[in-house]
């Protein structure tokens, strides 16, 4: 019985994490698009390297 409960909780947690990642990606793309850049540049490693350098 507790195994079913654990599976339901883990399934809900997995869905929550998946939805959060999708929203994060869409938000980053929208931010680039609104800023006048190419929204697909979000996926380039150089973009994330620049963000990491900025946060240091």
pTM here?
A: 0.70
Burial of 9 per CB tally in 10 Å (0-12, 13-18, 19+):
exposed
**Residue 1 confidence (pLDDT):** 57
**Residue 25 confidence (pLDDT):** 92
**Residue 41 confidence (pLDDT):** 87
Q: Determine the Cα–Cα distance for residues 14 and 26; give it in Å rounded to an integer.
A: 18
- On whether the CB atoms of residues 23 and 17 are closer than 8 A, the answer is no
SS (H, E, C) the chain: CHHHHHHHHHHHHHHHHHHHHHHHHHHHHHHHHHCCCCHHHHHCHHHHHHHHHHHC
**Residue 23 confidence (pLDDT):** 97
pLDDT in tens, 1-51: 578 999 999 999 999 999 999 999 999 899 888 988 888 988 899 988 988
Domain-by-domain residue ranges, the chain? 2-55
């Amino acid at each position: 019985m507790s195994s079913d409960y654990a599976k339901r909780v883990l399934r809900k947690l997995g869905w929550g994490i998946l939805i959060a990642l999708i929203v994060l990606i869409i938000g980053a793309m929208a931010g680039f698009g609104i800023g006048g850049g190419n929204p697909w540049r979000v996926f380039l490693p150089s973009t994330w390297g620049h963000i990491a350098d900025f946060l240091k």
